[in-house]
Amino acid sequence: MADRPLRADARRNRERVLEAARELFAASGIAVPLDEIAARAGVGPGTVYRHFPTKEALFEAVTTARLHDLVEFARARAAADDPAAAFDEFLDRLTEEAAAKRDLPEAFTAVGMDGLAPAREELFAVLTVLVRRAQEVGAVRAEIRASDLLALLKGMLQAAGESPDPTVLDRIAVVLRDGLRPPAPQRINLSTDTPGGRAP
Amino acid sequence: MADRPLRADARRNRERVLEAARELFAASGIAVPLDEIAARAGVGPGTVYRHFPTKEALFEAVTTARLHDLVEFARARAAADDPAAAFDEFLDRLTEEAAAKRDLPEAFTAVGMDGLAPAREELFAVLTVLVRRAQEVGAVRAEIRASDLLALLKGMLQAAGESPDPTVLDRIAVVLRDGLRPPAPQRINLSTDTPGGRAP
DNA sequence: GAACATACGGAACGCTCGCCCCGGTTAGCA
DNA sequence: TGCTAACCGGGGCGAGCGTTCCGTATGTTC
SS3 labels along B73-113: HHHHHHCCCCHHHHHHHHHHHHHHHHHHCCHHHHHHCCCCC
Size of interface A-B (CB pairs under 8 A): 97
- The more confident residue out of B114 and B34 is B34
Q: Does A104 touch chain B (CB under 8 A)?
A: no
Residues B73/B83, Cβ–Cβ less than 8 Å? no
Q: Does A174 touch chain B (CB under 8 A)?
A: yes
* Phi and psi torsions of A125, nearest 5°: -65, -45
Nearest nt to the CA of A49 via C1' is D19
* CATH of the domain spanning B61-180, picked from 1.10.10, 1.10.357, 1.10.3470, 1.25.40: 1.10.357
Task: Using pLDDT thresholds of 50, 70 and 90, give the confidence band for residue A187.
Answer: very low
The CATH architecture assigned to B8-52 reads Orthogonal Bundle (1.10)
Residues A169/A163, Cβ–Cβ less than 8 Å? yes
pLDDT for res A112: 82
pLDDT at B184 over 80: no
Strand C reaches within 7 A of the A187 CB: no
- Residues at the strand D interface (Cβ < 7 Å): A 7-9, 33-35, 45-46, 49, 53-56; B 6-7, 9-10, 13-14, 42-47, 50-51
* Strand C interface, A 59-88, C-beta < 7 A: none
Give residue A125's region: left, alpha or beta (phi > 0; psi -120 to 50): alpha
- The more confident residue out of B77 and A195 is B77
pLDDT for res A198: 40
Task: Using pLDDT thresholds of 50, 70 and 90, give the confidence band for residue A160.
Answer: confident
CATH 1.10.10.60 given to domain A10-52: yes
Closest CB to B179: pick one of A145, A178, A196.
A178
pLDDT for res A196: 40
Strand C reaches within 7 A of the A33 CB: no
pLDDT for res B67: 94
What's at B104, amino acid-wise?
L
CATH number of A63-180: 1.10.357
pLDDT for res A200: 38
Mean pLDDT of A66-88: 96
pLDDT for res B126: 97
Residue nearest to nucleotide C9 (CA to C1'): A44
Of the candidates A73, A65, A198, A196, the residue with the CA atom closest to the CA atom of residue A130:
A73
Residue nearest to nucleotide C10 (CA to C1'): A44
- CB contact under 8 Å between B175 and A141, yes or no, is yes
pLDDT for res B168: 94
Nearest residue on chain A to B148, alpha-carbon basis: A168
pLDDT for res B164: 85
Nearest nt to the CA of A47 via C1' is C8
Contact partners, residue A188, CB within 8 Å, separation at least 6 = none
Domain extents in chain B: 8-52, 61-180
A159 CA: distance to closest CA in chain B (Å): 5
Query: Which range scores top for mean pLDDT: A106-110, A118-122, A164-168?
Result: A118-122
Distance from C-alpha of B126 to C-alpha of B67, rounded to nearest angstrom: 12
pLDDT for res A190: 41
CA B3, chain centre distance (Å): 32
pLDDT at B192 over 80: no
Strand intervals (E) in A37-154 = none
Q: Does A165 touch chain B (CB under 8 A)?
A: yes
Task: Using pLDDT thresholds of 50, 70 and 90, give the confidence band for residue A186.
Answer: very low
**Element holding A113 (H helix, E strand):** none
Half-sphere exposure of A117 (CA within 13 A, CB side): 5
Number of H helices, E strands in chain A: 9, 0
- Let me know if the fold of A10-52 is the same as that of A63-180: no
pLDDT at B123 over 50: yes
Strand C reaches within 7 A of the A47 CB: yes
- CB contact under 8 Å between B179 and A183, yes or no, is no
- The more confident residue out of A14 and B164 is A14
